[in-house]
Chain A
């Protein structure tokens, strides 16, 4: 009686120490297809993680979207009927941007920052970062913006010790 159990255990030990073969690969691949289909990774988890990391790395203050016109930020649309205007605010400044479609599926962003001094504006696209500064009236512009999720990072140039302000993701 007990002998069978012992043999089974020895067999299991021997099997456990063997290298993986095609049969194991098949079992794991089958398990993977079940797990992946039954419990998919929430869409946007990677993007949300990256945003949280950027905020942490910059020690930035996250601006709130106070108003989004025409369409809601974060919702992808395939056509633009009109320009989209979004207003952000943080404890130290507020900003308004207008997104207008241009040819080739790209967009132009023009904006205005309400701050007492000049502000550096960084546009973080998926694979590149563009920078500019506000003019005397607090205006700025990016003429060619690729589609996708972008963030703006705003830094008061007259207050170099102030925390940068980052906007939530905006879908262009």
Chain B
């Protein structure tokens, strides 16, 4: 995600690659997949999918892009289209697997251990900065955690694009902090450990 040498935001690079693909450059699609799969993976995972489900959703999203390429008129919108599609597919998958879980549970004794799908098996935090950040992040609403997990993976110029694709409002002038990041900021400001860690 942080490769230098490629200019512009991810949204711009995605738009260029998609335009080239539509003009017959098959290699351009390969570049688009390389630059964007990380963001789509985390979008799927943040919606509560396990790794196998998230993989399927990411692949499905790319297949849908091949199918729908002719109907995407504005290449500038392709990143947003990919994130929105991943989110929608992930949501459908999560809903389906919840239904299956309920059916399984009805047949057996109710399992009280709550398995939070989509969470890494083990969150690796190293150093005080990460420990403090994760502690406050974990107190945010699920909605805010989903958003920030994905926004954090994007480059700053893509913040507005990504937030919009995830259904969060964006200021008219440009990327603003938004309420989720504002909440995190207030919590971090009040924690002496955050300043010390810098």
Binding site for B on A (CB under 8 A): 11-13, 15-20, 23-39, 41-42, 45-46, 48-50, 52-53, 56-57, 126-127, 129
- Determine if B182 is an interface residue (Cβ-Cβ < 8 Å): yes
Closest to B176 in A: A17
Let me know if B183 and A12 touch, CB within 8 A.
Answer: yes
Using Cβ atoms and an 8 Å threshold, which residues of chain A touch B58? 45, 49
| Whole-angstrom CA separation of A16 from B184 in the bound complex | 11
Contact partners of B183 in chain A: CB under 8 A: 12
How far apart sit A17 and B174, CA to CA, in the bound complex (Å)?
10
A17 to B170 Cα, complex, angstroms: 9
Contact A50/B149 with A16-B177, A33-B130 known, Cβ cut-off 8 Å: no
Q: Is A38 in contact with B124, judged by CB distance below 8 angstroms?
A: yes
Question: Is B139 located at the chain interface by the 8 A CB criterion?
Answer: no
The number of chain B residues touching the other chain, given as a range, is 35 or more
Interface of chain B: mostly helix, strand, loop or mixed:
helix
Asked whether A49 lies within 8 Å of B62 as measured between CB atoms, the reply is yes
| Interface residues, chain B, with chain A CB atoms under 8 Å away | 26-27, 29-30, 33-34, 37-38, 41-42, 45, 51, 55, 58-59, 62-63, 65-67, 120, 122-126, 129-130, 133-134, 137, 148-149, 151-153, 156, 159, 171, 173-179, 181-186, 188, 198
The reply to whether A19 and B174 form a contact with Cβ atoms under 8 Å apart is yes
Residues of the A chain whose Cβ atoms lie less than 8 Å from the Cβ of B130: 30, 33-34
Question: Which of A16, A23, A29, A48 has the most CB atoms of chain B within a 10 A radius of its CB?
Answer: A16
- Contact present for A35 and B42 (CB under 8 Å): yes
By a CB distance below 8 angstroms, the chain B residues around A35 are 42, 149, 152-153
